[in-house]
Structure 1
Amino acid sequence: MPISERRSAGVLSELRERNLKTIIDVASRYQPISRTKISNLTGISKPTISKLVGSLINEGYLISAGKTSSGLGKRQELLSFNPGKAFVISVDVGLATTIVARVDLSMNVTDKCEIGTSESPEKFACELVDCISDLCDKGNELPSYLVISVPGLVRGDLRTAINVPLLHWTDLVLAELVESRLKLKGLDSPVMINNDAKLRVLAEVALKRDIPDDFANIVYALVKEGVGIGLFINGSIY
């Protein structure tokens, strides 16, 4: 294949992935939602919406959630995420206690457990993976992703805790440590970590909790054992 054709294919693939991510973000936030509303909110053309939404339906991620209420024009099909298609594991690391939750695609917590938070990274990882294994065994499934929220600074690769002062963790590659323990349990799922305040403001935006649609900038203050700040500015998390 000529270089120009390979570049064109690469650009189209990147555009498709970007559009797909945008559709997923919007559908997740506004579900149940019609194809027309997805197009209006994203600015993506209706033919592209139809194609990509059709792909998500065929793969079982989106399901029909009824029709729009009666009014002018034809009633439109509403779509929601299929909560049973996949799940993620959410881990909230606190000074004394760590909460581990199983979350479905409708952002509902379907199960959870708690462990004591050890300052020893090795001990913490082992106890965390035991808890995750118990949650996965109940459904005999693998999580699509595992997200760990930590009260400290996280490197941009979302793999390394630069500094978690309350637990005395410094330059800890926590994601890799947990992944290695997961594999010993037969759980091969990717792990990412991030700052707790950043993840909290992201969750607030995703769940629309008392946040008007026209709010472009949000400051979220998280007060626990310490104080953290999460910023949502023009669609980006800081």
Structure 2
Amino acid sequence: MIKASDPDNSLTERERKNVAILESIKRYGPISRTDISKITKLNIVTVSNYVNNFIEQGVVIEKGLDISSGGRRPTIVILNPKSAFCIGVDLGVFTIRTVLTDMEGTVVARAKGAHPRDTADSVVKAITRQVEEVIGASQVDPKKLRGIRIGAGGVIDREVGTIRCTEGVASVYVPITQLLSEKFKLPVRLDHDVTTAAYGEWSLGAGTDVDIMLFMYSGVGCGMIINGEIYHGHSGTAGEVSLREQQEGVADVWIGNISALKPWAAHLGIPDDAREAIEKGGVSKISDLVGGRLEEITLETVFQAI
């Protein structure tokens, strides 16, 4: 059953039905109203009313007739991907990436830049510049923009819109969602990077045929989709667990030689993998960036080589 995946648990019942029906059309279209009803568990009258409304808005398009199993051939519908667009911001440790996509997730414009490490104001300005850049490059009608979603690491307050960062990156103790919403006149939501990645994988990637999914994004994050809905838990930190190999002299809760309480290093072992691959004869720009001194490879070096 397709459900409305609402990261903020604030959708009305009507909005949840909207999302469930559109999600079904996006995943399985061309599709008939009858099949949408079966997938969403909503009655056929409700589905027809919603679909007809989508057609009037230009969000959904009728596309011919389906094969009949008896009686009149049903009309099939598809999503109109260019009817609306959204903006996604990845607030990474070293880099900020912004994309503007259509309703099928196709990237229309993208921007990339360094993540400022000094002040919250610098971070907000960097995101603002990138959002302005993708809007300008896309040449999309601003009236078709539906919202901005920010995925970030650290300790997230989704309600207030603040981010407490680690690894020497400036924390954002200003309401970034409110500031961007006032600037662009769009709804802006903030969530953990792992949660946004989990929803993306469930909606567009390898998780499109499952209702329950755990998405391991980093050593301290796990996105959770349960019965087709993002699960944050009571405190909003569900999934914020981690694994780390046991270290001598460190008291912890252990399962074999794995700790369920300590995080991996922030680099997630990626520099080690890069060193090992190069030592085995792999050719990479990474080696040039460190002048052949493989012991100096860091996570930032790997990102620079991408």
Counterpart pick for 2:42 among 41, 44, 52: 44
Contact kept? 2:164, 2:171, Cα under 8 Å: yes
Equivalent in the alignment of 1:196: 193
Question: What is the one-letter code of the residue matched to 1:169?
Answer: S
User: What does the per-residue CA deviation read over 1:119-153, in whole Å, with 9 as the maximum and x for residues that have no partner?
Assistant: 32212222221221122224153221011110123
1:134 corresponds to 2:133: yes
Q: Counterpart of 2:21 in 1: which secondary structure? A: helix
Q: How well do the aligned residues superpose, as a CA RMSD in angstroms? A: 2.2
The alpha-carbon distance between structure 1 residues 216 and 97, as it changes in their structure 2 partners (threshold 3 A), is same
**What does residue range 42-81 of structure 1 map to in structure 2 within 5 Å?**
42-68=40-66, 70=67, 72-73=69-70, 74-81=72-79
Q: Counterpart of 2:83 in 1: which secondary structure? A: coil
Contact kept? 1:28, 1:206, Cα under 8 Å: no
Question: What is the one-letter code of the residue matched to 2:161?
Answer: T
Question: What is the one-letter code of the residue matched to 1:28?
Answer: K
Structure 2 distance, partners of 1:24, 1:101, is 21
The alpha-carbon distance between structure 1 residues 162 and 87, as it changes in their structure 2 partners (threshold 3 A), is same
TM-score normalised per structure 2: 0.63
- CA shift at 1:43, angstroms? 1.6
Q: Counterpart of 2:42 in 1: which secondary structure? A: coil
**What does residue range 77-116 of structure 1 map to in structure 2 within 5 Å?**
77-116=75-114
The alpha-carbon distance between structure 1 residues 78 and 48, as it changes in their structure 2 partners (threshold 3 A), is same
Contact kept? 1:31, 1:79, Cα under 8 Å: yes
Equivalent in the alignment of 1:230: 223
More strand by share: 1
Equivalent in the alignment of 2:212: 217
Structure 1: 5+ residue stretches without partners? 1-13
The alpha-carbon distance between structure 1 residues 147 and 64, as it changes in their structure 2 partners (threshold 3 A), is same
Q: What percent identity do the matched residue pairs reach?
A: 25
Contact kept? 1:200, 1:230, Cα under 8 Å: yes
User: What does the per-residue CA deviation read over 1:11-67, in whole Å, with 9 as the maximum and x for residues that have no partner?
Assistant: xxx544443232123223333322111101112111111111100100111112444
Q: How many residues align?
A: 214
Structure 1 distance, partners of 2:69, 2:227, is 34
Larger Rg: 2
Q: Counterpart of 1:165 in 2: which secondary structure? A: coil
Structure 2 distance, partners of 1:17, 1:88, is 17
Q: Counterpart of 1:169 in 2: which secondary structure? A: coil
